[in-house]
Amino acid sequence: MIESWRWFGPSDPVTLADARQAGARGIVTALHEQYDGRAWSPADIAERAETIRHAGFDWTVCESIPMHSSIKLRTGEWRKYIDQWKLSLDAVGRAGVPVVCYNFMPVVDWTRTDLRHPTRTGGLALRFDMASFVAYDVFVLERDGSAEAYSPEILAAARKVFDGLDDDSTARLERTIIAGLPGGEDSYTRETIRARLAEFSQISDDDLRGNLIEFLREVVPVAEEAGTRLAVHPDDPPFSLFGLPRVVSTPADLRAIMGAVDSDANGLTLCVGSLSTRPDNDVPAIAREFADRIHFAHLRNVTCDADGSFMESEHLDGRTDMVDTIAALLHEEERRCETGHVLSEIAMRPDHGHLLIDDIHKTVNPGYSCIGRLKGLAELRGVIAGLTYTRATKAAVA
């Protein structure tokens, strides 16, 4: 596997030099400073690629080309924005970037309620607390019809959370949920998120799924021509937020997406942590079923509560058997080598990581500190080395 490292560009407090010391081979990045839906220029892409090459890395994955909400709604200026997206995709592919990760989550991207939740070892982790989220949705945002969407039990827990909030903690919770997290494409105020939610209020799961499939029918041929592959990222979390549809959450969703446009360029980002937060998702089984379409992997883990809450866990200690998942990916790599597939190695990155040691006192992008990811990468590297050795030993004996 290609050990990669997410880098948010020249302003990232965790530098390319840090990634080099972590032992990464590849960089996962994008033109994060250009997020308004306009096409990225080949010159800007070439400049970013040269920066990465000069530091001794390959640009393994573009994550992500920003996607204007009109594309997901297929209203307003969607034609203009999808054409701009296709231009960026073509330019990234022709620059030699082999994979483009993207998502189709409406309004809010990956979502948490606490960016500094204490762990049992003294570090800090990202957490999504269902009662806190419902407290914001029902009692702070006061979204129309929100109270009817939740059970009496979770509403009672949310009311207790809300009653304990002061102005500062309310503002912090709101910033965490709607003000944008690293790699997200939208940042909102309370007024603007109400307006955006209203735009999506009449769109169903079937509508959004249909819009995604129409999007793929347009962009997959561009990816094929440019020599790159698309890898859709699962919803994070993989269940409805603010009453919005989510259509990249289950194996059935993935079958619909992959089957709609049957091309190797229409692929999947296997985000272990995102998929793991649904109790009915068996991630190693998903990895095996969709192995030939997995072009990128986010390797992180979560612990989950019965009410839907979850927390980022140690990479090897969570709901999903990470060793079994990596074994499925290594088996697919072996198959690709035998068949001559151009992507014989699957790019992976240690996704997120706890705030540890002196990183706790530094300003870093939430989830993307240096030490926590370095620890995760080292653990994952050990799993890969052990599995590779075991497979080689068995093959030699045979």
Query: Of all residues in the chain, what percent carry a pLDDT higher than 90?
Result: 92
Report the predicted TM-score, pTM, of the whole model to 2 decimal places.
0.95
Residue 187, pLDDT score: 72
Confidence of residue 179 (pLDDT cuts 50, 70, 90): confident
DSSP 8-state secondary structure symbol assigned to residue 2: E
Mean pLDDT of the region 295-311: 97
User: In terms of DSSP bridges, do strands 124-128 and 114-118 run parallel, antiparallel, or are they unpaired?
Assistant: antiparallel
Query: Which residue in the list 109, 186, 351, 359 is annotated as catalytic?
Result: 351
DSSP 8-state secondary structure symbol assigned to residue 137: I
Sign of CA dihedral 135, 136, 141, 146: negative
For the chain, the straight-line distance linking the first and the last C-alpha, in angstroms and rounded, comes to 24
Sign of CA dihedral 258, 264, 266, 268: positive
> In the structure encoding, which two tokens stand for residue 146, read together?
């929100």
Residue 69, pLDDT score: 93
Query: Which residue in the list 68, 117, 233, 295 is annotated as catalytic?
Result: 233
DSSP 8-state secondary structure symbol assigned to residue 317: B
Residue 184, pLDDT score: 61
pLDDT in tens, 56-94: 999 999 999 999 999 999 999 999 999 999 999 999 999
Q: For this structure, is 368 an active site residue?
A: yes
pLDDT in tens, 314-327: 999 999 999 999 99
Mean pLDDT of the region 343-359: 96
Torsion of CA 382, 122, 18, 364, to 10 degrees: 140
Residues 171 and 190 sit within 8 Å (Cβ to Cβ):
no
Sketch out the chain's domains with CATH numbers.
2-111+203-397 (3.20.20.150), 116-196 (no CATH)
Distances from the Cα of 379 to the Cαs of 197, 232, 322, 350, in angstroms?
40, 26, 11, 9
Q: For this structure, is 351 an active site residue?
A: yes
CA distance linking residue 220 with residue 380, whole number of Å: 31
Find, among 187, 235, 182, the residue nearest to 212 by Cα. Answer: 235
Query: Which residue in the list 352, 354, 359, 370 is annotated as catalytic?
Result: 352
Query: Average per-residue pLDDT in the chain?
Result: 95
DSSP 8-state secondary structure symbol assigned to residue 185: S
Query: Which residue in the list 32, 295, 298, 354 is annotated as catalytic?
Result: 298
| 141 phi and psi angles, rounded to 5 deg | -70, -30
Confidence of residue 104 (pLDDT cuts 50, 70, 90): very high
Mean pLDDT of the region 151-176: 97
Mean pLDDT of the region 130-155: 96
| 209 phi and psi angles, rounded to 5 deg | -60, -40
Q: For this structure, is 352 an active site residue?
A: yes
Query: Which residue in the list 186, 188, 368, 370 is annotated as catalytic?
Result: 368
Does the pLDDT of residue 394 top 90, yes or no?
A: no
Does the pLDDT of residue 304 top 80, yes or no?
A: yes
> In the structure encoding, which two tokens stand for residue 22, read together?
């972590």
Does the pLDDT of residue 100 top 90, yes or no?
A: yes
Query: Which residue in the list 271, 315, 359, 370 is annotated as catalytic?
Result: 271
DSSP string for 351-362: ----B-GGGGGS
Mean pLDDT of the region 115-144: 97
Does the pLDDT of residue 397 top 80, yes or no?
A: no
pLDDT in tens, 28-41: 999 998 888 899 99
Does the pLDDT of residue 181 top 80, yes or no?
A: no
CA distance linking residue 395 with residue 393, whole number of Å: 5
Residue 315, pLDDT score: 96
Does the pLDDT of residue 180 top 80, yes or no?
A: no
pLDDT in tens, 184-237: 656 788 999 999 999 998 999 999 999 999 999 999 999 999 999 999 999 999
Residue 303, classed as helix, strand or coil, is strand
Length of the chain: 398
Beta-bridge partners for 230:
100, 266
Residue 185, pLDDT score: 58
Q: For this structure, is 298 an active site residue?
A: yes
Q: What is the largest CA-CA distance in the chain?
A: 67
Find, among 291, 280, 295, the residue nearest to 349 by Cα. Answer: 295
